[in-house]
Amino acid sequence: MNPEITIKVEQYLKHVEKLVKTILGENLVSLVVFGSFVRGELSKSSDIDILIAVKDRIHPSVAELMRKLYALEQ
């Protein structure tokens, strides 16, 4: 795996983690990264797989806010 790509992905994941914690607060149970990045098989065309587990169902407005934030990151 390209070290430069790895560093960028790690920075991105820290940013995502901060945003998710800010938005979900105590409702956040865990944030899990899986897929090619974790397996060490990440390439420039790979996506980043993230699972966000919450305690309680989130309000639709929070889900919409998270979608909008995600879109800004693209």
The predicted structure's pLDDT at residue 19: 87
The predicted structure's pLDDT at residue 28: 94
Give the predicted TM-score (pTM) of the model. Answer: 0.76
Superfamily of domain 3-73: Beta Polymerase, domain 2 (3.30.460.10)
Question: What are the pLDDT digits (tens) for 20-33?
Answer: 898 889 999 999 99
CA distance 27 to 17: 13
pLDDT per residue of the chain (74 residues) written in tens, 0 to 9? 788 888 988 998 998 899 889 888 999 999 999 999 999 998 878 888 999 999 998 888 888 887 877 776 66
Q: Which amino acid is at 24?
A: L
DSSP label at residue 42:
-
